[in-house]
Copies of this chain bind each other. A is one copy, B any other.
Amino acid sequence: MYYSKLFGKTNKMKPSDADSANARLLLQGGFVSQMAAGIYTYLPLGLRVLDKIKQIVREEMNAIDGQEISIPMLSPKDPWVATGRWNSIDVLFKLEGAGKKEYALQCTAEDLITPLVKEQVTSYKDFPITLYQIQDKFRNEPRAKSGLLRGREFSMKDLYSFHLDQEGFAEYYERSKEAYLNVYKRCGLEAVIAKASGGDFTERFSHEFQVPAESGEDMIYTDKQTGDVLNKEVVDEADWENTDKYTIQKSIEVGNIFPLETRFSKAIDLKVQGADGQMKEVIMGSYGIGPSRVMGSIVEVHHDDAGIIWPEFVAPFLVQIVPVSWEDETQKTIAEQIYRALQAKGIEVLLDDRDKRPGEKFADADLLGMPYRVTVGRRAIEGFVELRPRSTGEIEELTVDQVIGRLS
């Protein structure tokens, strides 16, 4: 892609309303645009990142037998009444349509998927069932904040599993942990699994995936003896400042998994006749990752004063080519030669073809944060260009062939 053609440009001004590194850098870099508090448009650069994260999530969910479906975001009132959550979920957006029909916007989907499974299954042989969807969810947040971390509309992958025995559930729950850790690893995040409360649904723990970060809103406690990681809510209140017992860190929650037991299958009367003729209760689990929140978290963890430092697999482009002078015919020719050679090898490249000062182009490249910058400067005429990984900043002088080889 030629940078001059790309919709959404960098902006030197810090946005006044950015309360977090991810909001500030994604807005300044032209990845997103803010429509209202907690409501963002994804511009081409930002959508590329979001789609890559979604695809990583999709692959890992497919790997644990997840089947993708898509439940409408607009749902009628009835299913939420049946589970008792029409009034108990305080962030549920509600609306009224023609004919006084009442609707809710999906903020989670246990209430909608349990009746769906009840409608579709006919036999115990259909179990276990593992379904997921990736689309936007909505939360009527009194105060949206922290850029992509807490929005009113946000991308969410929610998977639900249905089992006829506790062993099957427990085994799948453990498999999901591995899949989740794979997702974060591929996204360049080092997540730890923290025990959290199971809430009203279960006496077991639920589990959160936490990425330690100074800007995090959560607090995780690592037991110095056992290595167990706990969410603050399950730490004895007397130990909340006990740094002898715990390593205490701020962190960002990037996902959670939850034993639902029979909370929703009971509410919807989802039961199945087993092989022995007895009616069996259905045991459920729910498993969530927010791709947009993951995107925001990546920026929180991977940035410096100059801008974003995208991990390779989620970067919108792997390489940004910066000719020092676009007016210089040699530089332009060599920049385009490298651009075409890399594209022919299927590598995603952004070419800064603007007629701007080098300092401005370098600053923009740092802000956008592609993993590699190729600088085509005055030694281009001798056949040399510079390769600069964004993460180290260490410049290496290479020939055109060498730089193409290195990036392929």
Residues of A within 8 A of B (CB): 4, 6-9, 30, 33, 35-36, 39-44, 47, 50, 67-76, 79, 93-95, 97-99, 101, 103, 105, 112, 116, 119-120, 122, 125-126, 129, 131, 135-136, 138, 140-142, 152-153
Contacts and interface: CB of A to CB of B under 8 A. Distances in A.
Given A67-B7, A72-B39, A95 B94 contact: yes
A9 B105 contact: no
B42 A69 contact: yes
A142 B99 contact: yes
Given A69-B41, A70-B42, A119-B33, A97 B140 contact: yes
Nearest to A154: B72
Residue among A43, A71, A74, A136 with the most chain B CB within 10 A? A74
A74 B39 contact: yes
10 contacts: A7-B120, A9-B122, A33-B120, A41-B69, A41-B112, A44-B69, A50-B70, A73-B136, A73-B153, A95-B95
A74 B135 CA distance: 13
The oligomer's copy count stands at 2
Given A72-B40, A76-B39, A97 B67 contact: no
A152 B67 contact: no
A120 B30 contact: yes
A36 B95 contact: no
Contacts of A105: 74, 95
A343 to B, nearest CB: 14
A69 B97 contact: no
Across chains A and B, which 5 residue pairs bring their CB atoms closest together, nearest first? A95-B95, A42-B70, A36-B76, A98-B142, A74-B153
Contact of A8 (B39, B120, B136, B152): B120
A177 B120 CA distance: 41
Nearest to A142: B98
Contacts of A116: 33, 41
A22 B337 CA distance: 51
A35 B94 contact: no
A74 B69 CA distance: 22
Contact of A141 (B7, B43, B98): B98
Contacts of A141: 98
A33 B114 CA distance: 13
Contacts of A119: 33
Contact of A69 (B7, B93, B138, B153): B7
B74 A152 contact: yes
A136 B93 CA distance: 17
Given A9-B120, A30-B120, A35-B76, A152 B44 contact: no
B125 A4 contact: yes
Given A41-B112, A47-B70, 6 more contacts: A35-B112, A40-B72, A41-B71, A47-B69, A93-B95, A97-B140
